[in-house]
Amino acid sequence: MKAIPTFSLQYMQFQPVKLPPDIENFLQRHQPVIFSYVSFRPEYRLEVMREGMIRYRERYPNGGFIWLGFPAKEFPAAEEFVKNWPKDEREGLLLLGNVAHDEFLTLLARSLLNLRTPACDGVSASVLESLALGVPVVASENGKRPAGVLTYADTDATDMCQKLVYATENYEELTSGLRSNRNGTAEEDNIKLMADWLSGVLHSADDQHVPAPAQTV
């Protein structure tokens, strides 16, 4: 029996878009830029992220972090969380809510790294999207990260920073590895497999499929 992943490469089809001025200005002012899809909930470890960011920017003072994905009801809490940070810290962070699919993938593709903090997320869609785009991922260890992801101890800001620094300094090697992994992997049409499963087409003893658990963003 084979599980059908909920992620499919059709979801990576997008049209790069012109980003709003505030986002474009942030990208122009900061390098490297690290992307994170987050929510204002305990499992996203925002305090740990903040400490890791401080340590990373000691090494890369011009580095910038993007926290993206806050639902409207959480965004005020996120703004309150950062409003009393020192000016330099606040200038190194761009807070965004949810954005459209094309803008999300455009911004991810223009970031150097993707930082994924929850350890309870299984195999998240944003991690798979990053790998498909060739954007290296640094993520908390949860025992289910895909090949090519650099992992750190869940609540250890020092380890997080060390892995971010390693990924920054070895970017070309990591992206080359991601390209090799993609070229050597058969890409299944998982949307079609799901449709076939729902319609009863996949029923033979040698080709049994079941849906995989839903993936988090």
Local confidence pLDDT in tens for the 217 residues of the chain: 444 345 545 556 778 999 999 999 999 999 999 999 999 999 999 999 999 999 999 999 999 999 999 999 999 999 999 999 999 999 999 999 999 989 999 999 999 999 999 988 877 888 988 998 999 999 999 998 998 999 999 999 999 999 999 999 999 999 988 876 654 444 454 445 444 534 555 544 444 444 444 455 6
- Between the alpha carbon of residue 147 and those of residues 7, 52, 144, the distances in Å are 16, 23, 9
Contacts with 70 (C-beta within 8 Å, 6 or more apart), sequence order:
38, 39, 40, 78, 95, 96, 97, 98
pLDDT tens profile 143-157: 989 989 999 999 999
Average pLDDT in the chain: 84
209-211/2-4 β-pairing: parallel
Domain ranges of the chain: 15-183
Cβ contact 136:168 at 8 Å: no
Rounded Cα distance, 44 and 116, in Å: 8
Rounded Cα distance, 178 and 148, in Å: 7
Among 72, 67, 113, 69, which residue's Cα sits nearest to residue 93? Answer: 67
pLDDT tens profile 189-214: 444 544 453 455 554 444 444 444 44
pTM score, two decimals? 0.81
CATH of 15-183 given 3.30.590.10, 3.30.460.80, 3.30.1540.10, 3.40.50.2000: 3.40.50.2000
Residue 95: Cβ within 10 Å count: 16
Cβ contact 11:129 at 8 Å: yes
The sign of the torsion formed by the CA atoms of 102, 104, 108, 111 equals positive
Q: What pLDDT does residue 205 have? A: 45
